[in-house]
């Protein structure tokens, strides 16, 4: 048994290179993946939420992407415990979170979110708002469970994203991430399974991208030119893990090109296992393809630190597919630029410090009990 595998012995060196996302310099390559925690009663992130993020920044996470936070439209969400990115009290809470993360040496962007047709039953104050989406169709195929958005609805939601982005810059955040993944509103437009519109927002892949691209353009116009706009997207959807937006690189390019032209500075390509090739004939994962097709920096994600192989490789037992070696080698050859860590970082606030400090033997295996607290 060797002491550590080759790339793992250089983990700190490979991960510690700063990276520019438009005008923002992220101090290293470790990002916190956005994770809904529902610890913000009234939509207000409080002291516990603040210390949850600040603790991870202090331990070396270079970029925090906050949990999804609702934009200011009545239909954006359905839980009163999910933080909102509008309203005086809510934004005051967020401003303190951003300050605390900066004081700890990190950078932070809010993930701006509209759930669309995922809404089932709302809690007050959202109880009466309708579920809205491109065609009133849920990701699971249920029809007639909500309302197809009118042009007025589309304009209002575009405005709500732009206002939230302006607020993010005003209260001291370092950029924004637009949630275009996992079967929520923007993804419902991107995916043919939920978008059956016959107007300019439906049809081929480019038409289905129009709504998201208009949101990007509106955000871009509202914030400073150097303020980074990150777009998160995925092939998979909640309730449809096998769904795909694109079967080929050409189809993917048709979706990514209008988003890039509208002003996306970086893409966050959400996959469930980062080591899986996205298309036949190449090892590139979704983030790798996204970088190749758009020329923009990308963030990869998916089971980093969760696979048993990962922990074993840290302990020097060889490089398996899901190992840190595989991840670091891909990062070093610039297949992608940042690595987002979700559950492993939720489990262990010190995850980044341990990895950057070569303390691999101290990494904790993920236990779903971690979901219950904001430790």
Is residue 323 close enough to count as binding ligand FMN by CB under 6 A? Answer: no
Q: Does 16 bind ligand FMN (CB under 6 A)?
A: no
* Residue among 164, 175, 35 at smallest CA distance from 90: 164
Which of 20-28, 119-127, 329-337, 340-348 is the region at the interface with ligand FMN (rule: CB under 6 A)? Answer: 340-348
Query: Is 52 a residue of the active site?
Result: no
Q: Of these residues, 52, 70, 184, 233, which one is catalytic?
A: 184
Residue with token string 């999910």: 82
Exposed, middle or buried by CB within 10 Å (0-12, 13-18, 19+), for 224? exposed
**Helix ranges, the chain (H):** 11-15, 47-58, 88-103, 151-170, 185-190, 205-222, 249-262, 286-294, 308-314, 324-332, 343-347, 351-356
Give the phi and the psi of residue 98 in degrees, each rounded to 5: -60, -45
Residues 185-244 that bind ligand FMN (CB under 6 A): 232
Nearest residue (CB) to ligand FMN, 122 versus 342 = 342
Q: 3-state SS of the chain: helix, strand, coil percent to 5? A: 40, 15, 45
Q: Which of 212, 259, 306, 313 touches ligand FMN (CB under 6 A)?
A: 306
> From the CB of residue 351, how many other CB atoms can be counted at a distance below 10 Å?
24
Q: Tell whether residue 343 is a contact of ligand FMN (CB under 6 A).
A: yes
Count of CB atoms within 10 A of residue 221's CB?
A: 13
CB of 365 to ligand FMN, least distance (A): 13
Q: Could you tell me the smallest distance in angstroms from the CB atom of residue 203 to ligand FMN? A: 26
For ligand FMN, the binding residues in 345-374 under the rule CB under 6 A are: 371
Q: Map residues 33-72 to x or -, x wherever contact with ligand FMN holds by CB under 6 A.
A: xxxx------------------------------xx----
Q: Pick one of 43, 93, 322, 342: the residue that binds ligand FMN (CB under 6 A).
A: 342
- Two structure tokens written together for 162: 């732009």
- Based on CB atoms, which residue is closest to ligand FMN, 5 or 111? 111
Report the relative pairing of strands 107-113 and 132-133 from DSSP bridges: unpaired
Interacting residues with ligand FMN (CB under 6 A)? 33-36, 67-68, 111, 179, 181-182, 232, 270, 301-304, 306, 341-344, 371
| Catalytic site positions | 184
């Amino acid at each position: 048994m060797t002491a550590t595998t080759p790339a793992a012995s250089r983990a700190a060196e490979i991960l510690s290179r700063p990276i520019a996302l438009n005008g923002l310099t992220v101090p290293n390559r470790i990002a916190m993946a956005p994770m809904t925690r529902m610890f913000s009663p009234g939509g207000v992130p409080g002291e516990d939420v603040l210390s949850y993020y600040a603790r991870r920044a202090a331990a070396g996470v270079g970029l925090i992407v906050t949990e999804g936070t609702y934009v200011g439209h009545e239909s954006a969400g359905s839980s009163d415990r999910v933080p909102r990115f509008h309203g005086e009290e809510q934004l005051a809470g967020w401003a303190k979170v951003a300050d605390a993360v900066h004081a700890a040496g990190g950078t932070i962007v809010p993930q701006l979110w509209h759930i669309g047709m995922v809404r089932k039953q709302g809690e007050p104050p959202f109880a009466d708002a309708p579920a809205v989406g491109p065609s009133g169709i849920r990701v699971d195929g249920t029809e007639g469970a909500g309302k197809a958005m009118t042009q007025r609805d589309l304009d209002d939601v575009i405005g709500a994203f732009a206002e939230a982005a302006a607020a993010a810059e005003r209260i001291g955040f370092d950029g924004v991430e637009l949630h275009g993944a996992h079967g929520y509103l923007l993804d419902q437009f991107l995916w043919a399974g939920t978008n059956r519109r016959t107007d300019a927002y439906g049809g081929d892949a480019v038409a289905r991208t129009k709504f998201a691209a208009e949101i990007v353009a509106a955000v871009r116009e509202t914030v400073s030119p150097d303020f980074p706009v990150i777009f998160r997207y995925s092939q998979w959807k909640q309730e449809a893990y096998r769904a795909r937006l694109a079967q080929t690189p050409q189809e993917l390019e048709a979706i990514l090109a209008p988003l890039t032209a509208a002003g996306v500075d970086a893409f966050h390509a959400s996959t469930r296992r980062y080591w899986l090739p996205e298309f036949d004939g190449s090892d590139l994962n979704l983030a790798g393809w996204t970088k190749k097709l758009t020329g923009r920096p990308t963030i990869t994600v998916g089971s980093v630190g969760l696979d048993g192989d990962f922990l074993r490789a840290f302990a020097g037992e060889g490089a398996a597919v899901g190992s840190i070696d595989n991840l670091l080698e891909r990062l070093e050859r610039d297949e992608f630029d940042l690595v987002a860590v979700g559950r492993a970082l939720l489990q262990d606030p010190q995850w980044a410090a341990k990895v950057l400090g070569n303390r691999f033997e101290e990494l904790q295996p993920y236990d779903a009990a971690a979901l219950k607290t904001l430790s």
